[in-house]
């Protein structure tokens, strides 16, 4: 069983994410309340996501029974999900990175990671059927132009997004964007703006009572939004 999303690998500079999160890195790594970040210099965008499990051997055997090709590595288990690089590691006890700002203005945790897919039924079969993540919501909305699938994993969501206008195809999925929770969106907006980032004004989010703003630069090519007043789907 996958207990949580342990960390994400991002192409680019840890310094950019120290500014974004309002936290100080240790040994080139960052962690919020529920997910860690690792970095690959010279690249950009989201590179991979690594899930944690209590028993790697048991999980590897389960993937084999479910016909998922996976390779054991020094770090854990590596596989590819319809084009998305995915890893498994043992559950750790890392603590959040130290704050560089007041808590209200810093990023508290990850709300969801977004994967774009041209084939939503294939995504359901993989993330739900093979990885065993809990599908909590399947919503199509013509106003958004998308079908959104929400898979719960620990204290966050893996969101699979399908562009309704593009139809269904057998092309690869792509790791796409991140949505971060902040205690006070006005304080986070003011901090990032002062640091020189281009951040949209807060606006009402899709969830009742939430507000969001878009971070337009300083994210190493990762589409990024901040969410305040977060409720559950």
DSSP string, 82-93: TTEEEEEEE---
Say if residue 232's pLDDT is above 90: no
204 close to 210: Cβ distance less than 8 angstroms? yes
Answer positive or negative: Cα dihedral of 78, 52, 160, 33: negative
pLDDT at res. 208: 83
Q: How many other β-carbons are positioned within 10 Å of the β-carbon of residue 178?
A: 24
Scanning the chain, the segments in alpha helix (DSSP H) are 14-21, 56-65, 120-123, 185-194
pLDDT at res. 231: 52
Question: 205: pLDDT confidence band, cut at 50, 70 and 90?
Answer: confident
Cα–Cα distance for residue pair 64/51, rounded to 1 Å:
17
Question: 233: pLDDT confidence band, cut at 50, 70 and 90?
Answer: very low
Q: What is the pTM of this model?
A: 0.94
- Mean pLDDT value across residues 9-16: 97
95 close to 29: Cβ distance less than 8 angstroms? no
- Mean pLDDT value across residues 100-128: 98
Q: Please, which residues have CB within 8 angstroms of residue 178's CB and are 6 or more apart in sequence?
A: 8, 46, 110, 112, 113, 114, 219, 222, 223, 224, 225
39 close to 14: Cβ distance less than 8 angstroms? yes
pLDDT at res. 229: 79
204 close to 121: Cβ distance less than 8 angstroms? no
Letter string b/e over residues 111-125, b meaning 16 or more CB atoms within 10 A of that residue's CB: bbbbbbbbbbebbbe
Q: Please, which residues have CB within 8 angstroms of residue 34's CB and are 6 or more apart in sequence?
A: 4, 5, 109, 110, 154, 155, 156
Question: 157: pLDDT confidence band, cut at 50, 70 and 90?
Answer: very high
- 111-124, pLDDT tens digit by residue? 999 999 999 999 99
State the average pLDDT for the chain.
Answer: 95
- 168-198, pLDDT tens digit by residue? 999 999 999 999 999 999 999 999 999 999 9
Cα–Cα distance for residue pair 228/132, rounded to 1 Å:
29
């Amino acid at each position: 069983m996958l207990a949580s999303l342990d960390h994400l690998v991002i192409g680019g500079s840890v310094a950019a994410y120290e500014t974004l999160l309002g936290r100080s890195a240790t040994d080139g790594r960052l962690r919020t309340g529920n997910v860690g970040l690792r970095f690959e210099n010279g690249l950009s965008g989201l590179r991979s996501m690594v899930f944690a499990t209590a028993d790697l051997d048991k999980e590897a055997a389960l993937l084999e029974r479910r016909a998922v090709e996976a390779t054991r590595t020094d770090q854990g288990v590596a596989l590819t999900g319809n084009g998305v690089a995915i890893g498994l590691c043992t559950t750790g006890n890392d603590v959040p990175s130290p704050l560089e700002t007041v808590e209200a203005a810093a990023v508290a945790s990850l709300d969801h990671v977004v994967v774009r897919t041209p084939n939503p039924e294939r995504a359901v079969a993989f993330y739900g059927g093979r990885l065993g993540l809990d599908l909590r919501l399947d919503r199509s909305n013509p106003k958004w132009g998308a079908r959104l699938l929400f898979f719960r994993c620990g204290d966050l969501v893996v969101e699979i997004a399908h562009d309704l206008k593009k139809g269904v195809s057998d092309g690869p999925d792509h790791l796409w964007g991140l949505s971060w929770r902040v205690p006070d969106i006005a304080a986070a907006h003011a901090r990032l703006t002062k640091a020189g980032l281009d951040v949209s004004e807060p606006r009402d989010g899709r969830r009742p009572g939430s507000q969001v703003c878009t971070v337009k630069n300083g994210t190493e090519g990762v589409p990024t939004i901040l969410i305040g007043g977060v409720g559950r789907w």
